[in-house]
Structure 1
Amino acid sequence: MTDAVLDPELSQDVGGSDVPLIELTIGQQLAETTERFGDNEALVDVPAGRRWTYDELLQDVRRLASGLLELGLRKGDRVGIWAPNRWEWFLTQFATAEVGLVLVNINPSYRVHELEYALVKSEVRCVIAATEFKDSKYAEMLEEVMPRCDDLEKVVLMESDDFAALMRTEISPELPAIAASLTQHDPINIQYTSGTTGFPKGATLSHRNILNNGYFVGETIHYTDADRVCTPVPFYHCFGMVMGNLAVISHGACTVIPGPAFKPDEALKAVESEKCTSLYGVPTMFIAELALPDFESYDLSTLRTGIMAGSPCPAEIMRKVIDRMHMEEVSICYGMTETSPVSMQTRPDDSLERRVGTVGRALPHVEVKVVDPTTGDPVPRGEVGEFCTRGYSVMLGYWNDEEKTTEAIDADGWMHTGDLAVMDEDGYAQITGRIKDMVIRGGENIYPREIEEFLYTHPDIVDAQVVGVPDPKYGEELMAWVKLRDGVSDLTEEQVREFSEGKLSRHKIPRYVHVVDEFPMTVTGKVRKVDMRAQAVEMLGLA
């Protein structure tokens, strides 16, 4: 953390806190939490009908860790996990940490070539996987790639006798000595970026990275041991395993798994039946929940908080979540996998304007700045630049990729995010888009987020995404992809133009409008604008 005095006129800030960083391993933290809250419920898997107190969870985690040792795995070995959200995933996360194994999160939607890439790149020795999920035949795909993965020695399917045997293992007498050999700085997790552009890169994270990030996210929304957190976001992603699982166990709270993958009705049923106090989701998940025909029938009165993250949150959706879902203390988080993930977060006592118009301010012990992408110098407050962050949360690097690591993290330890941001006089930031998403039309810089926010105010539009497409006269033109409310089948360019006249500058009015049922998405709910552009070029004949 810097000791320098910051110029208040420039876009830079440090998240202050009287609470020190946690200097424990994840295993030590779980043991400490269990010591304090052993009888508290720690985990509920709703569809599996299973529950654990902290005392029970710690015993099962240590049994599974001992089983992994029986397989010959040792500190630093990589263990892949490939499954949707289920109790086995949760236990594996903590069991690998208990003995210093590096957990490699594999995207549940991966196909063979992506799976092989992650396993080979990370030199995975063992994979713990579901047999199948939806149309993904995990066992078959693993059998196919195993001969081409030189380091892969063992596949354990969660539904098999092999996994049951791991769970029945006697707790190894080696565990205390192994735990004593670990440090909070050891790598513990490799998370492959969702790949909205290019090939995924393996962000390598330590105990210290992710335990502290989860803890301070939970602190910021006032978690206690009385909280029950409904987590329909994927465990394989930082949102689920850090902001969810680690925020929970560092406070003695309870994780509620509503289902293996997100379904809006299952999430709300779990909130009601388990009396959850917190609900997580990307904006598209909250949109889907609010759109349920029987939404009003769910008792959501126990909710007080939750987190929206993963992509920019439309202001109208935020207001509905507060007003209709009882989530008065809902928080927006902003960050990226490479920063564990959260850098900025809104506070429960922030004004509504702050909470719908910004991504908050710096998380405790995190430095942030907004810089000129060309010079790297902080820009004056109120001006657009690239968001950068530094501190405990920045990853150790990309696994086996020094070149990409050096491109992302500069010599002074600043992570360059590629996101465009504006910081106000109080340190609150707005994310205005990606450097790569910015549209330059006739020499004018246009930020799609601004146009999207405006389109949400159209009575027939429930979701909107804006991209730039090639244009021979202006270089680029704007194209809006829109999802319409039930009962409305079409929306024309002329109708959008009429709605926008006098409200948007003429150069910001989309030239093209495309009505869709769904946007191209990653599994974590991020819109793949790179796919939208490619499809737009083809459908409009602009190649």
Structure 2
Amino acid sequence: MLEILRINTAEDVFLQVCEMATGLLAIGIEKGDRVGMWGQNYYEWMVIQYSTALCGIIQVNINPFYKAPELEYALRKVGVKALVTPKAHKQNKFYDVLAEVLPSITTGKAGLGTVESSKLPDLKHILVFGEKEKLPGAWQFDEIWKAGGTYELSMLDEVRSHVLPEDPVNIQYTSGTTGLPKAATLSHFNIINNSFLIGLTSGWHEENHRICIPNPLYHCFGCVIGALNALNHNQTCVFPSISYDTKAILESISKEKCTFIFGTPTMFIDLLSTPFLKTADISSLRGGYIAGAPCPLSLCKQMVDHLNMNDIYVLYGTTELSPGVSMSVQRDEPEERIKSVGHVLPSTEVVIVDNNNRVVPRGEKGELWARGYMTMSGYWGDEEKTKKEITPQNWYKTGDTAIMNENGTINIIGRNKDMIVKGGENVYPTEIETAMFKFPYIADVQIVGVPDERYGENICGWVRLKEQYVGKVNEDHIKEDCKKAMAYYKVPKYLFIKEQKDFPLTATGKVKKFELRSISKSLLGLENSGPHFSSAHI
């Protein structure tokens, strides 16, 4: 049976958010400081999202599957001052991973979360929630939640009066083409308007919904298109589980009479294939959003036919654009909506350009650029990368190949040639390659994406071993090391140990990734895979 963990009214949420904001001020967190939120879909996640926004603090979304090297980078890159996390959830041992980065916390006083570290000089506080017992080197979240007093309350009123629409409110890490994630910095103006206009386009201002949100909050899809969108339009959010669980999703829809659901293609593939669907009461469901990865048309049709999602919306965007750029519109019938990623959202400009940055006519393909109120302020601490991605005229270059049809709808026909979208997670091969090159036995590694029926794409690696390790290291050994060095979704599903002569090279000695991908598909029997799709990454 589904266990209901918490029911909160809007008033409850607001009062608790104000309490948490005063608690953060009480331990010295100030406007402009960065607070890292590291965890899955907990209520505390949303309390931090709104309490930081209330007093001008910048929330940093940290992927809960990060391993120690990735966590350390995420904390250092933007100078996180306080980190909020559970102790553990299922396979995610948050406190233990943090202890790998900061071993000194394990010898700290229980319940005292002040931190001094030369490795992470900006980090001053650790807050852990969900634990009755106090942990060494960590504040109890609930104690900080209640720590604010009359002084902090008056301080909050003063701080709030100085928070501006253009102030940064959220930092989200995006996959980096150079091997390290980039810190996309979004403002209040960016995400409040983007979420509001997405809800407006889908008619949320005209009727009430009970919205099932299984998407992870650490992604824009969950925290902006999901939670913030619902808040903007006074809708009810239902979070079925802390981590993704198809049975919990169906039980939530049935018990809470959800009318709307969000998901990536992988989530909907799982919902349609689970045996629990046969006995679930989903009669209340009327529609939903699908985004986050390439979406096969056949899947969209199944969602309409078997999940009652006649009011289906296909969305397209990217984190740097807060994230929505285009989506289906109400006036179109379901069979029309699923053929594209819809129309450009209000107050958003889109151009499709050729290799010379000239706008192409409708019906011709090119790279999609977008600009408007939703364009990020930049990558935190990376002016060079920001200038590379955003033109002087404020156009953000998505790297996606697209066509604008005569009716104004957009089709995404390709992506940045190297990026892999695995079940809604954007992964650049260089991220994995950079991590694997640190293994002592690796002479060369090349990562490509290959088709996958469930995830859309999966990860395939070609490895060349150093001579002294040939015959001593196998694929299983490498995968185990990968599991220790990177988030689970980055671990290659397929690995080939090859000799140098096996790698296809250009005349200048560079690996031909396109050819490598083609060879991999052939070796794996995936030559004819690769569905026609209508949506792209958010």
Letter in 2 for 1:404: K
Corresponding position of 1:99: 55
- Where do 5+ consecutive residues of structure 1 fail to align? 1-45, 439-447, 450-466, 468-477, 485-519
Q: Aligned pair in 2 of structure 1 residues 335, 527: CA closer, same or farther (>3 Å)?
A: farther
Partner in structure 2 of residue 331 of structure 1: 313
Query: Which residue is equivalent to 2:33?
Result: 77
Task: Report the more deviating stretch, 167-176 or 67-76.
Answer: 167-176
Match in the other structure for 1:344? 326
Offset at 1:416? Answer: 0.1
Partner Cα separation in structure 1 for residue 49 and residue 100 of structure 2: 25
Select which of 282, 301, 312 maps to 2:294.
312
SS in 2 for 1:205: strand
Q: Contact between 1:258 and 1:270, CA under 8 Å: does it hold in 2? A: yes
Match of 1:177 among 158, 170, 178: 158
The answer to whether the Cα contact below 8 Å between 2:312 and 2:334 also exists between their aligned partners in 1 is no
CA distance in 2, matches of 1:540, 1:320: 45
Check conservation: 1:310, 1:526, Cα contact below 8 A. no
Q: Deviations over 1:248-304 (max 9, x none)?
A: 110111111111111111111111111111101100100000001231211112112
Deviation at 1:541, TM superposition (A): 8.6
**How far does residue 418 in structure 1 lie from its aligned partner after superposition?**
0.5
Instruction: Using the TM superposition, give the Cα deviation of residue 229 of structure 1 relative to its aligned residue in structure 2, in angstroms.
Output: 1.2
**With structure 1 as the length reference, what TM-score do the two structures score?**
0.73
Of 49, 64, 71, the residue aligned with 2:5 is 49
Match of 1:272 among 249, 254, 262: 254
Quickly say closer, same or farther: Cα 1:199–1:479, change in 2 above 3 A. Answer: closer
Query: Are 1:384 and 2:365 counterparts?
Result: yes
Equivalence for 1:496: none
Change (3 A) 1:232 1:64: same
Task: Give the alignment partner of residue 237 of structure 2, picking from 220, 242, 255.
Answer: 255
User: Do structure 1's residue 116 and structure 2's residue 69 form an aligned pair?
Assistant: no
1:368 equivalent to 2:350? Answer yes
Provide the secondary structure at the position in 2 that maps to 1:164. Answer: helix
Match of 2:145 in 1: 167
Residues in 2 aligned to 1:229 and 1:331: alpha-carbon distance in whole angstroms:
14
1:425 aligns with 2:406: yes
Q: TM-score, normalised by structure 2?
A: 0.74
Assess, with a 3 A threshold, how the Cα gap between structure 1 residues 48 and 150 changes in structure 2: closer, same or farther. farther
| 2:185 is the counterpart of 1:204 | yes
Displacement of 1:176 after TM fit?
1.8
Say if 1:159 and 1:413 are closer, same or farther in 2 by CA, change over 3 A.
same
Q: CA deviation at 1:481?
A: 3.8
Q: Secondary structure at the match of 2:359?
A: coil
Q: How far apart in 2 are the matches of 1:276 and 1:174?
A: 40
- Amino acid across the alignment from 1:61: V
**Structure 2 partner of 1:151:** 122
- What is the deviation of 1:194? 4.3
Q: 1:348 to 1:398 in 2, by over 3 A?
A: same
Corresponding letter in the other structure for 1:249: L
Instruction: State the 1:360 CA deviation.
Output: 0.5
| Matching residue of 1:412 | 393
Counterpart of 2:384 in structure 1 is 403
* Corresponding letter in the other structure for 1:422: I
Corresponding letter in the other structure for 1:358 = S
The answer as to whether partners of 1:238 and 1:340 remain within 8 angstroms in 2 is yes
Answer yes or no: is the 8 Å Cα contact 1:221–1:305 preserved in 2: no
**Structure 2 gap ranges (5+):** 103-116, 135-139, 422-428, 430-447, 455-481, 504-538
Whole-angstrom distance in 1 between the partners of 2:129 and 2:450: 43
Partners of 1:181 and 1:144 in 2: how far apart? 38
Distance 1:195 1:51 in 2: 38
Could you say what the CA RMSD is over the residues aligned between the two structures, in angstroms? Answer: 2.8
Q: In structure 2, what is the Cα distance between the partners aligned to 1:287 and 1:191?
A: 26
1:302 aligns with 2:302: no
- Matching of residues 516-535 of structure 1 within 5 Å: 535=495
**SS of equivalent residue, structure 2 residue 216:** coil
The corresponding residue for 1:394 is 375
Q: C-alpha deviations, 1:7-63, integer Å up to 9, x for none?
A: xxxxxxxxxxxxxxxxxxxxxxxxxxxxxxxxxxxxxxx755211111111100000
Alpha-carbon distance, 1:167 to partner: 2.4
Contact 1:272/1:300 (8 A) holds in 2: yes
Compared CA separation, residues 483 and 283, structure 1 to 2 (3 A): closer
- The amino acid of 2:252's aligned partner reads A
Aligned length: 421
Instruction: Mark the CA change 1:145 to 1:482 in structure 2 (over 3 Å): closer, same or farther.
Output: closer
